[in-house]
């Protein structure tokens, strides 16, 4: 169980970062993150709009890992947009091979995990079938995977009651797989606000519950996003942290003060076309924390 750090330790441990492009390669992505004063970064290991297998530059990936180690950078990968753990039967093999490819790339880059969205409901008449499919997909992938990099299940956006919007679901799916030790979690603040899981005002209650359920112990990364829509709207539209969103600044400050989250990297997936860059957001967040 995670111990509760002091305020000083909390401020020193917190890592803020953002999603970056691999246009200049994996090492180039890491260098860009360092250039904008990020302490963590997320990247797509390949084309974000395709499940095609990528023959990647292994030496570049190894250099990325070394660079991150030398500069105390934390990295995490994100599967391409078409990835789903509840695919139609004709796409199952394609998704399995694609996720294994993502894991291989991320592992060589030294990343802590690969973020995968929680599955979606595929049969309204038999809701449990979607969970069964998801567990089967995870087992099939992970029985072929022996690297250090984990699959990180991300909570879904959606109306309250939609699949993948509660800690109970995430923890139970992990427990029911044959390889729970190879699975961790990613918490998205916009998704949680969209689904009503995290209102900002229920912060202490929520993380106490997360600890009791065993979710918090396996939380590896937080996607730090504001929401363009109100609480429980069911809509997944990201806004900048301190500008133009429905999640109030005080709620983010309360989240940052949650001591059990002090060592979890916060990754921005916020828009950069609204007059504020990720570099500026990271600077503001560090100033808020007195860093």
Total domains, the chain: 1
Judge whether residue 44 has pLDDT over 50. Answer: yes
- Position 49 scores a pLDDT of 97
Query: Cβ contacts of residue 146 below 8 Å, gap of 6+?
Result: none
Q: Measured between alpha carbons, how far is 99 from 200 in angstroms, rounded to an integer?
A: 33
Per-residue pLDDT of 227-254, as tens digits, reads 999 999 999 999 999 888 999 999 999 9
Handedness of CA 228, 229, 230, 234 (dihedral sign): negative
- Position 12 scores a pLDDT of 57
Torsion from C-alpha of 125, 179, 219, 14, nearest 10 degrees: -150
State how far the alpha carbon of 14 is from the alpha carbons of 86, 106, 211, 247, 252, in Å.
Answer: 34, 22, 19, 20, 14
Q: Measured between alpha carbons, how far is 127 from 118 in angstroms, rounded to an integer?
A: 14
* Residue 121 counted as domain residue: yes
DSSP state letter for 6: P
* Residue 2 counted as domain residue: no
What's the helix, strand, coil split of the chain in %, to 5?
40, 15, 45
Least confident span in 3-7, 121-125, 222-226: 3-7
Per-residue pLDDT of 267-291, as tens digits, reads 999 998 888 999 999 999 988 765 4
Neighbour tally for 36: CB within 10 Å: 17
* Residue 193 counted as domain residue: yes
* Residue 1 counted as domain residue: no
Give the CATH number, domain containing residue 172.
3.20.20.150
Q: Measured between alpha carbons, how far is 192 from 38 in angstroms, rounded to an integer?
A: 24
User: Above pLDDT 90, what percent of the chain?
Assistant: 87
Q: Among 289, 268, 245, which Cα is nearest to 20's?
A: 268
* Residue 46 counted as domain residue: yes
Q: Average pLDDT of the chain?
A: 93
Q: How confident is the model at residue 2 (pLDDT cuts 50, 70, 90)?
A: very low
For tokens 């993502």, what's the residue? 102
Q: The domain containing residue 203 runs over which residues?
A: 7-288
Q: Residue 148 in 3-state DSSP? A: coil
* Residue 269 counted as domain residue: yes
């Amino acid at each position: 169980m995670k111990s509760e750090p002091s305020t000083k330790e909390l401020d020193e441990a917190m890592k803020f970062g953002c999603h970056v492009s691999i246009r200049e390669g994996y090492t180039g992505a890491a260098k860009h993150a360092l250039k904008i004063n990020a302490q963590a970064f997320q990247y797509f290991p390949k084309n974000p709009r395709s499940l095609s297998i990528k023959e990647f530059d292994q030496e570049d990936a190894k250099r990325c890992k070394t660079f991150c180690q030398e500069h105390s950078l934390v990295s995490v990968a994100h599967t391409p947009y078409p990835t789903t753990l509840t695919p139609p039967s004709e796409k199952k093999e394609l998704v399995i091979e694609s996720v294994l490819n993502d894991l291989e790339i991320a592992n060589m880059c030294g990343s802590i995990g690969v973020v995968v969205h929680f599955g979606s409901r595929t049969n309204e008449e038999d809701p449990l079938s979607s969970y069964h499919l998801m567990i089967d997909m995870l087992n099939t992938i992970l029985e072929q995977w022996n690297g250090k990099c984990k699959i990180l299940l991300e909570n879904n956006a959606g109306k309250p009651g939609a699949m993948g919007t509660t800690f109970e679901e995430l923890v139970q799916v992990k427990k029911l797989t044959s390889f729970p030790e190879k699975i961790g979690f990613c918490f998205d603040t916009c998704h949680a606000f969209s689904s009503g899981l995290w209102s900002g005002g229920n912060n202490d209650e929520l993380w106490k519950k997360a600890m009791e359920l065993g979710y918090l112990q396996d939380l590896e990364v937080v996607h730090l996003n504001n929401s363009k829509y109100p609480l429980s709207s069911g809509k997944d539209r990201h806004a900048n942290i301190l500008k133009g969103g429905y999640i109030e600044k005080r709620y983010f400050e309360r989240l940052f003060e949650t001591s059990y989250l002090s060592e979890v990297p916060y990754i921005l997936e916020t828009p950069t076309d609204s007059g504020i860059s990720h570099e500026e957001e990271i600077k503001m967040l560090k100033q808020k924390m007195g860093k």
